[in-house]
Chains A and B, each alone.
Chain A
Amino acid sequence: MLEELGASLTPTPIVESAVTSRTLERYAPDAVKSELLPQIAVGHVLITPALLEREASWDATSARVAATRTDSGFLITGEKRFVSFADLATHALTLVRTGDDEPTLLVVPIWKARGVDQISLDHVSGVPVSSLSLSEVEVPLSCVVATGARAIEATRELITAGAVSRAVQLAGLGRVVVESTVEYTSNREQFGQPVGSFQAVQHHIAEMAIAAKQVNHLAHSAAWSFSRNGYSIARAAQAKIAANEKIPSLCWTAHQCHGAVGFTQEHDLHLYTWRALAWKMDYGDSAFHKATLAGAMGL
């Protein structure tokens, strides 16, 4: 399904919802699960991850936003950046540090919540992306998902699940770009023949097809590794590294094969390129996943 959602560039928060729900299911106390999961299932609640801060680092230990303990819960002040679909979401899943510097993963109600300001960003993804400015936002104790090392672990797992989801979406996106480039170059004639009959163009498209196939295999292999018992960090990292490096580059080659028309907004190709650039950075850029992978290799 994710592959097809990627192939069609569907502007939906399904990955945001899926990775946060999965985190709740695996890490939240039963009370939180029984309150939120049924509501998510029927679409009354949408939880989006709000993990990044000013440094925009995907390293789970980088969270610095502070939460002050009160009698009934926490007061949170700080900023979380690059939050997708914050305008639609009812809650944000966010990692903060409490007074004793303990990482704490919380579900924060943000829908019309007091102290929550959204700064909407102009983002290349074409979907709504905002920064959340939190000013003494009250969060009850019942919103805590995990604390300490478990909060870091849950966050890492969420990012990994997001990375694999984006890799699968990128695989679908790449497949469609290859298909539409084949179609365009088969029909567009120059010098009395389809431009797709020129070897230079054929080699470009063959390389694109190879790249799309590689990403597809790696992404599906990584997705396959996710089960109730865990997942493969290495396969997830490989999938996202390959998707990050091969799919946007495949899109640029498609532009080269489309000539001037692909440079305009009158052709849909630019929409795929824009989205590919956004997903490339989402849930970890290549440098982040390469470091993770090297670690998983025992280095």
Chain B
Amino acid sequence: MRFEFTAEEIEFRRQVSAFLDEVLPDDWGGPAGLSDDQEWKLNQRLRKELVKRGWLVMSWPTEYGGADSSPMMNTIFAEEMAYRRAPGLDGFGTRMLGPTLMRFGNDEQRARHLGAIACGEVQWCQGYSEPNSGSDLASIQTRAVLVGDEFVINGAKIWTSLGHRADMMFMLVRTNPDAPRHAGISLLLVDMKSPGIEVRPIVNMANVHHFNQVTFDDVRVPKANLVGDLNDGWRVGMTVLNHERSGIEFAAGARAVLEELVKYLKKDDSPVSTAKSDPNVRLRLAELSTEIEAARLMCYDVTWRHGQGQEPSSEASMSKVTGTEIYQKTLDYGLEILGMYGGLEAGSPQSELQGRLLKLRMLSTATTIFSGTNEIQKNIIAQRGLGLPRARTR
């Protein structure tokens, strides 16, 4: 890979950074101090701004309103957004469903949904995981039965991020219970206002309502909302999942925390300012800096390979593991430096750095679990990447 950016890439990074200076609130350190509703409002406002700049779907082909931007430009964009903890992106619409419809959807579905995603007008959520199907997604049991011109859905989806904000859901359902596991699944598009849908909030350990459990009780969906072929949903729903993801948001998040800590320690009026001259603190921060830079380079490598037309699988797994682990480690160390202040919640009187490191550490707990747990990623690295043999089934 190249170890420098092109002039165009450098200029683009500057533009995104300047844009964020302009649109983010003063003294912005991330959404830790905002309520769920305030954060959502800001998300919507920023999304509109991203649409105006042509950045929300810049990775899409020009025929669908995108700029056909290079993987490196996309990674730079994702990095700057994550580094500033800026809300406004729409991973479900722009990175998952959009590319899926481009590849597997019919003309009518593309015309109806791609434009709405590109304008930032419709919020999608993803209905894949179920109470009994996490890592083992192919075991989903939510049933959809074709009755006349409609599918009738019964079952439950869980960990539905933004389920309470979403207008629409793309979901995997079992349409043939008798077929082998992967062969009886279909991908459907469902209006969240359909009768029979109930959304129940699940509050996470950072006190944020992000997840939901969504139950389906005889929910009727037009047959036209089937994406791809009936019973081909595993291929349709999984092919572009995490497509061209570099994992840069974790390395960027870690870098943001490290730089924030250094800046904080340099202030003479912080209660823990003496830590900056403690050799142990200095050594540990230097170690973290090294690991974060390594994580960042791994993401650029994945991106560079995408740009070369490769499909880096093991490299992407390595970058996910490295990035998420260093992100958590950096936050852990940040809390340690804050000492007793590390125990104060966001918004508490007398908190330091607005208590956001504690909230971010809680939120970061999910990063080593979602999008394929780090254990699954390590299996991929060992087996697909390094060619180690699989365990014999007992």
List residues of chain A with CB under 8 Å of any chain B CB. 52, 54-56, 81-82, 119-125, 129, 131, 189-192, 195, 198-201, 252, 255-256, 259-260, 262-266, 270, 273-274, 277-278, 281-282, 285-287
Contact = CB atoms under 8 A, between A and B. Distances in A.
A255 B343 contact: no
B134 A260 contact: yes
A149 B379 CA distance: 59
A146 B280 CA distance: 34
Interface size class of B (residues with CB under 8 A): 35 or more
B129 interface: yes
Interface string B193-224: 00000000011110100010000000000000
B375 A200 contact: yes
Given A259-B134, A260-B369, A285-B339, A131 B205 contact: no
A119 B134 CA distance: 43
B274 A190 contact: no
A122 B345 CA distance: 5
Given A200-B379, A273-B205, A259 B135 contact: yes
B93 interface: no
Interface of B: 129, 132-136, 139, 158-159, 202-205, 207, 211, 271-272, 274, 278, 280, 328, 335-336, 339-345, 347-351, 355, 358, 362, 365-366, 368-370, 373-375, 378-379, 391
Given A56-B341, A131-B349, A260-B129, 19 more contacts: A81-B340, A120-B349, A121-B349, A122-B355, A123-B345, A124-B343, A124-B358, A129-B343, A189-B132, A190-B134, A190-B135, A191-B139, A195-B135, A200-B378, A256-B373, A263-B205, A263-B366, A277-B342, A286-B336
Given A190-B136, A200-B378, A255-B365, A56 B348 contact: no
28 contacts: A55-B271, A82-B340, A121-B351, A122-B351, A123-B344, A123-B348, A124-B343, A124-B358, A125-B343, A129-B343, A131-B349, A190-B134, A190-B136, A191-B136, A199-B391, A200-B375, A256-B374, A256-B375, A260-B159, A264-B202, A264-B211, A265-B202, A265-B205, A266-B203, A278-B343, A281-B339, A281-B340, A281-B343
Contacts of A189: 132
A123 B362 CA distance: 14
B343 A277 contact: yes
A285 B342 CA distance: 11
Given A82-B340, A277-B335, A266 B136 contact: no
A256 B203 contact: no
